[in-house]
């Protein structure tokens, strides 16, 4: 994309000597917006990043994987600040326009000496690396890179102006809705103010990253950033233009969120739970969230068992208003429960066949009102336990 450069190199932070240091550079200072974890235990780069984003401008982002720089006290803050200065000096830019992110093991000091030694190489690599290299450098337990790109067109009185939005994310475990449970970086050449960008990003996250679950754990390092450098043709300065931009941003965020769920640690299936007919919108959210987080529901999906009792029980403990005698439950288009009554062995066999698919849709109709919401989640397999048992080994 015009005006943005990317790098991804090995700094020796990870034990396997894979890519672990990524750099994003905008040739001009860019309007920016960010959302961070709502966990009360937060990493040093998040503490620093919240202050950095108060002015809504960025020109560079440095991301390391393999070390979260969390629970590292004053030393962790000092190391994050040192990384900011290193990048700013190497690129000859304002340090107030540099954001740092970290992901990896919690509790170990950031090996800032390794990062310092590799900053010159990272800056030099901006001329030869691509966004693919950056996407690879930010991974931890991920099995694949996650990238999405969309184009949009703004119609003006004179002509049409186009813009592009690109997004990169990492995330596989420690995933639950509570802002945006992962690291994600989005770039656009549209000309949009920081305030409007924050508004658009918050909306997009609420319908995507805040509606996913892998294991129900909120990370200490979650960061979602969007940079708009205005290097393209499109200006987002009215409701119509913002609507077009919002739709494209929503799609980028949703597709990135889905990729995270699909790559969930040990996951074999992606499921969508849609709750409709709730008494309120809040009740729909509570119900869908409880089902998406349920280990019993997740393991049933892995076992290809349409255990509808686990789903309705999760709804019952969600805190939402429910009436078990009014519930209808579908697996895709198969009605398994109607008015709280199991529809028999034949319906269950059809639902079991549906659960053999890689993607499953479950619809729970509470038949109480107009509230509606949905979550993306994945199953639990034995590999989830293995991955997290071996994580620090």
For residues 269-273, average pLDDT: 98
- For 179, the enclosing helix (H) or strand (E) is none
Give me the long-range contacts of 381-390 (CB less than 8 A, separation at least 24): 381/266, 381/267, 381/268, 381/302, 382/266, 383/265, 383/266, 384/173, 384/215, 384/264, 384/265, 384/266, 384/267, 385/266, 386/266, 387/141, 387/173, 387/265, 387/266, 388/173, 388/265
CB 101 within 8 A of CB 60: no
> 126: which 2 tokens?
């901006």
Does residue 393 have a known ligand-binding role?
Answer: yes
What are the percentages of helix, strand and coil residues in the chain, rounded to 5?
Answer: 35, 30, 35
pLDDT bin (cut points 50, 70, 90) of residue 179 is low
Nearest to 263 by CA among 83, 107, 142, 95: 142
pTM score > 0.85 for this model? yes
pLDDT tens figures, 112-143: 999 999 999 999 999 999 999 999 999 999 99
Average pLDDT along the chain: 95
Task: From residue 341, give the alpha-carbon distance in Å to each of 84, 208, 234, 294, 304.
Answer: 60, 33, 54, 22, 21
> 316: which 2 tokens?
């019952």
In this predicted structure, the answer to whether residue 51 has a pLDDT above a threshold of 70 is yes
For residues 205-230, average pLDDT: 93
- Domain 4-262 fold is 3.60.70
Please list the residues that pair with 338 across neighbouring strands.
Answer: 341
Res 218: pLDDT: 84
CA 382 to chain centre: 24
- Return the active site residues: 181
Does residue 388 have a known ligand-binding role?
Answer: yes
pLDDT bin (cut points 50, 70, 90) of residue 390 is confident
pLDDT tens figures, 273-297: 999 999 999 999 999 999 999 999 9
In which residue ranges of the chain is CATH 3.60.70.12 found?
Answer: 4-262
Does residue 286 have a known ligand-binding role?
Answer: no
- For 355, the enclosing helix (H) or strand (E) is none
In which residue ranges of the chain is CATH 3.10.20.340 found?
Answer: 270-389
Q: 270-389, which class in CATH?
A: alpha beta
For residues 59-83, average pLDDT: 97
Does residue 265 have a known ligand-binding role?
Answer: yes
Please list the residues that pair with 375 across neighbouring strands.
Answer: 273
Does residue 140 have a known ligand-binding role?
Answer: yes
CB 340 within 8 A of CB 309: no
In this predicted structure, the answer to whether residue 301 has a pLDDT above a threshold of 60 is yes
pLDDT tens figures, 318-347: 999 999 999 999 999 999 999 999 999 999
Nearest to 96 by CA among 16, 194, 29, 184: 29
Res 296: pLDDT: 97
Nearest to 308 by CA among 337, 277, 335, 284: 337
Chain position carrying tokens 């709280």:
340
């Amino acid at each position: 994309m015009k005006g943005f450069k990317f790098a991804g190199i090995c700094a020796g932070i990870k034990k396997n000597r894979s890519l672990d240091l990524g750099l994003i550079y905008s040739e001009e200072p860019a309007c920016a917006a960010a959302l961070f974890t709502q966990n009360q235990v937060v990493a040093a780069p998040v503490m620093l990043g919240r202050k950095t984003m108060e002015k809504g401008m960025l020109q560079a982002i440095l991301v390391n994987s393999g070390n979260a720089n969390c629970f590292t006290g004053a030393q962790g803050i000092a190391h994050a600040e040192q990384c900011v200065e290193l990048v700013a000096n190497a690129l000859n830019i304002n340090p107030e326009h540099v954001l740092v992110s970290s992901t990896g093991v919690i509790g170990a000091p950031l090996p800032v000496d390794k990062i310092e030694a590799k900053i010159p190489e990272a800056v030099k690599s901006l001329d030869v690396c691509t966004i693919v290299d950056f996407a690879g450098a930010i991974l931890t337990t991920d099995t694949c890179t996650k990238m999405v790109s969309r184009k949009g067109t703004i119609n003006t009185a004179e002509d049409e102006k186009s813009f592009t939005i690109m997004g990169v994310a990492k995330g596989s475990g420690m995933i639950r809705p509570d802002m945006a449970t992962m690291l994600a970086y989005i770039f656009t050449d549209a000309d949009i103010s920081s305030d409007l960008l924050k508004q658009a990003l918050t909306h997009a996250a609420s319908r995507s990253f805040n509606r996913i679950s892998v294991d129900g754990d909120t990370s200490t390092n979650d960061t979602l950033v969007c940079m708009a450098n205005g290097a393209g043709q499109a200006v987002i300065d009215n409701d119509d233009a913002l609507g077009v931009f919002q739709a494209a941003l929503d799609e980028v965020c949703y597709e990135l969120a889905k990729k995270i769920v699909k790559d969930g640690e040990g996951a074999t299936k992606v499921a969508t739970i849609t709750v409709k007919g709730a008494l309120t919108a809040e009740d729909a959210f509570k119900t869908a969230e409880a089902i998406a987080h349920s280990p019993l529901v997740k393991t049933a999906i892995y076992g290809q068992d349409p255990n509808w009792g686990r789903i309705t029980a999760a709804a019952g403990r969600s805190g939402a208003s429910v009436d078990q005698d009014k519930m209808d439950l579908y697996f895709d288009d198969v009605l398994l429960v109607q008015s709280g009554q199991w529809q028999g062995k034949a319906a269950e066999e059809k639902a079991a066949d549906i659960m053999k698919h890689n993607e499953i849709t479950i619809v729970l109709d509470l038949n109480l009102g107009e509230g509606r919401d949905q979550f993306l989640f994945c199953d639990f397999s034995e590999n989830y336990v293995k991955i997290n048992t071996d994580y620090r080994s």
